[in-house]
Amino acid sequence: MKNIAVIGAGTMGNGIAHTFAQFNYNVQLIDISQNSLDKAIAAINKNLTRMVVKEKITNADKERTLANITTYTSIKEGTQYASLVIEAATENLDLKLKIFKELDEVCPEDTILATNTSSISITQIASKTNRPDQVIGMHFMNPVPIMNLVEIIRGYNTSNEVMKFTVDLSKKIQKTPVEVNDYPGFVANRILMPMINESIETLYNGVAGVLEIDTVMKLGMAHPMGPLQLADFIGLDVCLSILEVMYDGFKNPKYAPCPLLVNMVRAGKLGVKSGEGFYDYSKNRKAEILAKQFE
């Protein structure tokens, strides 16, 4: 088990690739966009340089980590020797089903197929393959190189052997695996997203402003980041997508996305990545209060 393929070179994908490469696994990072791959390698290089400056790793460690990563724009080429594939593409059901159908066709028979989905059914994804016993969820937290938690999600058909292997592998890259069953939102987002949604409802109903809501949660509940700032960090489009999956799965109105969240996503106000969400990031990534008020 030395070849790990990662599908998707975005924030989560490059973080997963970085982490495995740092622990001396050969990583095949795959994305249809060469530009995205170039940006991913630049991001990994920047993050490793930051670790060198903080004396957490040596320059030799940095160079070794980068040398362990190879990039591909073809799933077939990038996965031909993979023992494990971790899909970290956009949180879109149709896209993930398409990717897993292709992975099942091109990967070696014994390759384990994992998804980094934060809410979509592992069982549903596995149904598009002829190896549902070898499909599992590995939900890493962002930023992957820093956050210790990995939710390991067992699909309806996931074998005990694949579950044990994935748990053991997570420990080898110094993560803390938590075993979870396959229900919408798993554990992390089933608890987190209603809190974020309720915070947006509190703002929407004029109970308090953005800064006030986040200050209450930081100082009153000892959260390192307020829920509205956290939503900006995650991406408001991602929050909306997860809430929709949960609402769809449970048919419970408590998971229905707040109209303010829906409108902000429609308007392209997605948080840090778009430069504006509940806070302003137009000048830097530090959260600054917007001049305009939410109504």
| Catalytic option among 189, 197, 241, 274 | 189
Which residues face 6 on adjacent strands?
A: 29, 86
Residue 118 annotated to the active site: yes
For the chain, residues classed under CATH 1.10.1040.10 are 190-289
The whole-angstrom separation of Cα 287 and Cα 117 is 27
The answer, yes or no, to whether residue 3 has pLDDT greater than 90, is yes
The answer, yes or no, to whether residue 293 has pLDDT greater than 70, is no
| Catalytic option among 3, 18, 87, 151 | 151
Residue 121 annotated to the active site: no
Domain 190-289: CATH architecture, name and number where available = Orthogonal Bundle (1.10)
pLDDT digits (tens, 9 = 90+) for 181-222: 999 999 999 999 999 999 999 999 999 999 999 999 999 999
The structure tokens 């993979």 sit at 82
pLDDT band at 236 (very low <50, low <70, confident <90, very high): very high
The answer, yes or no, to whether residue 295 has pLDDT greater than 60, is no
| Catalytic option among 3, 139, 170, 276 | 139
The structure tokens 């982490």 sit at 19
Residue 189 annotated to the active site: yes
The whole-angstrom separation of Cα 179 and Cα 163 is 9
| Catalytic option among 14, 47, 68, 118 | 118
Q: Per CATH, which fold does 3-181 belong to?
A: Rossmann fold (3.40.50)
Which of 59-73, 81-95, 133-147, 277-291 is the least confident region? 277-291
Share the mean pLDDT of the chain.
95
The whole-angstrom separation of Cα 134 and Cα 157 is 8
How far is C-alpha 13 from the geometric centre of its chain's CA atoms?
8
For the chain, residues classed under CATH 3.40.50.720 are 3-181
